[in-house]
């Protein structure tokens, strides 16, 4: 069992370029952390840290003045803050999908990108968690979100989806962090054993926990890996489902619909893959990792984006159908208003970015075209942001009583808060690719031909061996 059956003869293409040996994998991944950062990294880091400064200033001002600086109004109580929260949580989903769900489906190609995607998950969830925290408005009352009694000894209501959300996102963050760390241990040991300076040896040594590659350890480790994957798979599906409950359990036309959980999960995977793609294309270029993250990987990711993008398109259509079929005038109005009302620009931006743009990936040459996939991955992320914006704002801005209708205008502070979270995300991410092994060294090695203990026998003997092993297990 486990991820460690090497790729053999089942018609799969090699997952690294020919000639990439075990030694080369160690070298090319570890080298990134050992040599001075390329100029490109410093440029990106400078931008990221500047945005981090914008974030600090904006949140500081928000704490000083309160949420009134945002465009949120009556009736649009949830504006960019919750849009950004849902968007960032969704981004995170691709990491878990790659590291857990694709593992359970024995998709070995994920080994080259899973570390990367999982790091993205963790940083995206950090960005997401910022929003409910600062949206509270009175930061000294942020503890209301936790299962703690308030000043009148009243506990939170366990029937509220907002409380479920705290448990879901909190668990998701914790489990993702644990999973990520567990898989970093052997690679930290690799960096420790290559270190030339005392500082590196101490730091990576401490992080590696004294890992010595023992097979008695690998046995429990592989089991832990399998269990964490098995736990993360339903977890990742639950997280965006619970986020969608925040909307679906309210009696608000446009939100009160049973399609939300699967629709949100598909959208989350879609946007997450797009974000992984954007980051991956830049990183593999800057750090020269084309022989490990090959065109084949990018092709497979594009296919997943095509599938999930089409699922999301189906959900958009089905929402319209359900609204019509419900016979409820409020439901029908909300959807007509979405497509043709004052927010039609946002709706059609969403449709073109999310439903139309991934359709290019039906064509193989487009799936192998790096500039095109880079542009589409960014377009998809914009589209997914619009999806959350459309769901949240268009449903709220015209509710039951026309006298209370309104329109949402984002302020400069909305924009700065959103841009600021990119600073948080990219600062963490750039530090990660600089100092951590950004590709799962041990896992990539395990998929190489050299890793197969029977490869040396060659030909038919090998197949017989593999069969005997398989039958015995």
Partner 1 sequence: MSAEAPRRAPKKRVALVLAEFNTTGDVLHAAEKVRDAGYQKWDVHTPFPIHGMDRAMGLSDSKLGWIVSVMALLGISAAISMYYFMNGLDYPIIIGGKPGFSPPAAFPVYFELTVLFSAFGTVFGMFHLNRLPRHHHPVFESDRFAAATDDKYFISIEAEDGKFDVEKTKGFLESLHPSHVEVVEEVVS
Distance of alpha carbon 13 from the chain centroid: 26
Q: What is the closest distance, in whole angstroms, from the C-beta atom of residue 330 to partner 1 in the complex?
A: 21
CA–CA separation, 211 and 186 (whole Å): 6
Contact 237, 265 (CB under 8 A): yes
CA–CA separation, 47 and 42 (whole Å): 9
Q: Which of 413, 421, 415 is nearest to 51 (CA)?
A: 421
Q: What is the closest distance, in whole angstroms, from the C-beta atom of residue 97 to partner 1 in the complex?
A: 16
Query: Looking at beta carbons only, is 40 or 213 nearer to partner 1?
Result: 213
Query: Looking at beta carbons only, is 303 or 462 nearer to partner 1?
Result: 462
Residues 195-214 binding partner 1 (CB under 8 A) are 205-206, 209-214
Residues 337-376 binding partner 1 (CB under 8 A) are none
Which uninterrupted H or E stretch holds 183?
helix 161-194
Q: What is the closest distance, in whole angstroms, from the C-beta atom of residue 469 to partner 1 in the complex?
A: 5
Query: Looking at beta carbons only, is 39 or 216 nearer to partner 1?
Result: 216
Q: What is the closest distance, in whole angstroms, from the C-beta atom of residue 354 to partner 1 in the complex?
A: 27
Distance of alpha carbon 15 from the chain centroid: 23
Q: What is the closest distance, in whole angstroms, from the C-beta atom of residue 145 to partner 1 in the complex?
A: 13
Query: Looking at beta carbons only, is 235 or 396 nearer to partner 1?
Result: 235
CA–CA separation, 218 and 138 (whole Å): 48
Question: Among 55, 88, 123, 179, which residue sits at the site for partner 1 (rule: CB under 8 A)?
Answer: 179
Residues 112-151 binding partner 1 (CB under 8 A) are 147, 149
CA–CA separation, 132 and 433 (whole Å): 28
Number of residues that bind partner 1 (CB under 8 A): 78
Question: Among 60, 234, 317, 406, which residue sits at the site for partner 1 (rule: CB under 8 A)?
Answer: 234
Residues 145-174 binding partner 1 (CB under 8 A) are 147, 149, 153-159, 161, 163-164, 167-168, 170-171, 174
The angle formed by the CA atoms of residues 182, 186 and 188, to the nearest 5 degrees, is: 95
CA–CA separation, 172 and 377 (whole Å): 25
Q: Residue 269 has which token pair?
A: 């995977």
Contact 133, 62 (CB under 8 A): no
CA–CA separation, 205 and 185 (whole Å): 10
CA–CA separation, 202 and 199 (whole Å): 5
Q: What is the closest distance, in whole angstroms, from the C-beta atom of residue 147 to partner 1 in the complex?
A: 6
CA distances from 267 to 276, 363, 413 (A): 14, 22, 27
CA distances from 257 to 136, 336, 355 (A): 26, 16, 21
Residue 131 CB coordination number (10 Å):
22
Question: Does position 190 bind partner 1 by CB under 8 A?
Answer: yes
Residues 383-412 binding partner 1 (CB under 8 A) are none
Site string for partner 1, 426-465 (x = CB under 8 A): ---------------xxx-xx---xxxxxxxx--------
Q: Which stretch binds partner 1 (CB under 8 A): 61-69, 222-230, 384-392, 420-428?
A: 222-230
Q: What is the closest distance, in whole angstroms, from the C-beta atom of residue 157 to partner 1 in the complex?
A: 6
Site string for partner 1, 22-61 (x = CB under 8 A): xx--x-----------------------------------
Q: Which stretch binds partner 1 (CB under 8 A): 63-71, 216-224, 299-307, 420-428?
A: 216-224
Q: Which residues of 431-462 are buried (b: 16+ CB within 10 A; e: fewer)?
A: ebbbebbbbbbbbbbbbbeebbebeeeeeeeb
Query: Looking at beta carbons only, is 192 or 398 nearer to partner 1?
Result: 192
Question: Does position 228 bind partner 1 by CB under 8 A?
Answer: yes
Q: Which of 255, 273, 238 is nearest to 384 (CA)?
A: 273
Q: What is the closest distance, in whole angstroms, from the C-beta atom of residue 406 to partner 1 in the complex?
A: 28
Query: Looking at beta carbons only, is 58 or 447 nearer to partner 1?
Result: 447
CA–CA separation, 39 and 17 (whole Å): 26
Contact 397, 76 (CB under 8 A): yes
Q: What is the closest distance, in whole angstroms, from the C-beta atom of residue 154 to partner 1 in the complex?
A: 6
Q: What is the closest distance, in whole angstroms, from the C-beta atom of residue 39 to partner 1 in the complex?
A: 29
Q: What is the closest distance, in whole angstroms, from the C-beta atom of residue 25 to partner 1 in the complex?
A: 9
Question: Among 16, 235, 323, 350, which residue sits at the site for partner 1 (rule: CB under 8 A)?
Answer: 235
Residues 245-274 binding partner 1 (CB under 8 A) are 245
Question: Among 33, 99, 114, 238, which residue sits at the site for partner 1 (rule: CB under 8 A)?
Answer: 238
Q: Which stretch binds partner 1 (CB under 8 A): 16-24, 34-42, 67-75, 267-275?
A: 16-24
Query: Looking at beta carbons only, is 223 or 409 nearer to partner 1?
Result: 223
Question: Does position 237 bind partner 1 by CB under 8 A?
Answer: no
Q: What is the closest distance, in whole angstroms, from the C-beta atom of residue 115 to partner 1 in the complex?
A: 14
| Sequence-separated contacts (24+) of 6-12 with Cβ below 8 Å | 6/446, 6/447, 6/448, 6/449, 6/451, 6/452, 6/455, 7/108, 7/447, 7/448, 7/449, 8/449, 8/452, 8/455, 8/462, 8/466, 9/463, 12/108
């Amino acid at each position: 069992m486990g991820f460690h059956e090497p790729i053999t003869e089942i018609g799969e293409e090699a997952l690294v370029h020919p000639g990439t040996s075990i030694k080369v994998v160690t070298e090319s991944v570890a080298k990134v952390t050992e040599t001075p950062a390329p100029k490109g990294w410093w440029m990106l880091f400078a931008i990221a840290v500047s945005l981090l400064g914008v974030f600090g200033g904006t949140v500081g001002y928000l704490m000083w003045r309160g949420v009134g600086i945002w465009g949120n109004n009556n009736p649009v109580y949830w504006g960019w803050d919750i849009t950004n929260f849902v968007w960032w949580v969704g981004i995170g989903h691709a990491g878990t999908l790659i590291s857990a769900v694709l593992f359970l489906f024995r998709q070995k190609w994920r080994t080259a990108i899973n570390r990367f995607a999982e790091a993205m998950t963790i940083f995206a969830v950090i960005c997401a968690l910022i929003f409910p925290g600062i949206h509270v408005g009175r930061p000294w009352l942020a503890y209301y979100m936790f299962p703690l009694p308030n000043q009148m000894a009243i506990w939170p209501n366990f029937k509220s989806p907002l409380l479920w959300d705290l448990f879901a996102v909190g668990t998701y963050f914790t489990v993702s962090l644990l999973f990520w760390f567990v898989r970093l241990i052997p690679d930290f040991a690799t960096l420790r054993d290559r270190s030339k300076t005392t500082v590196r040896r101490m730091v990576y040594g401490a992080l590696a926990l004294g890992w010595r590659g023992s097979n008695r350890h690998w046995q429990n480790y592989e089991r832990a890996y399998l269990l964490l994957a098995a736990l993360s798979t339903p977890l990742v599906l639950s997280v965006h489902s619970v986020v969608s409950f925040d909307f679906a359990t309210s009696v608000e036309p446009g939100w009160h619909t049973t399609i939300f959980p699967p629709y949100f999960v598909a959208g989350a995977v879609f946007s997450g893959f797009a974000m992984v793609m954007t980051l991956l294309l830049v990183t593999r270029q800057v750090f020269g990792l084309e022989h490990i993250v090959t065109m084949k990987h990018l092709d497979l990711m594009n296919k997943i984006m095509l599938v999930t993008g089409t699922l999301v398109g189906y959900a958009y259509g089905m929402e319209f159908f359900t609204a019509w079929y419900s016979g409820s005038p409020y439901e029908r109005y909300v959807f007509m208003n979405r497509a043709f009302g004052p927010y039609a620009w946002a709706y059609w931006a969403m449709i073109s970015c999310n439903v139309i743009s991934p359709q290019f990936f039906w064509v193989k040459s487009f799936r192998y075209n790096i500039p095109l996939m880079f542009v589409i991955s960014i377009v998809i992320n914009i589209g997914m942001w619009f999806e959350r914006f459309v769901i949240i704002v268009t449903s709220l801005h015209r509710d039951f009583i026309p006298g209370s209708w309104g329109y949402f205008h984002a302020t400069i502070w909305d924009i700065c808060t959103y841009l600021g979270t990119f600073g948080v995300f990219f600062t963490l991410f750039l530090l990660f690719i600089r100092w951590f092994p950004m590709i799962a060294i041990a896992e990539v090695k395990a998929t190489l031909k050299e890793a197969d203990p029977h490869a040396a026998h060659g030909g038919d003997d090998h197949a017989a061996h593999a069969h005997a092993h398989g039958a015995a297990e």
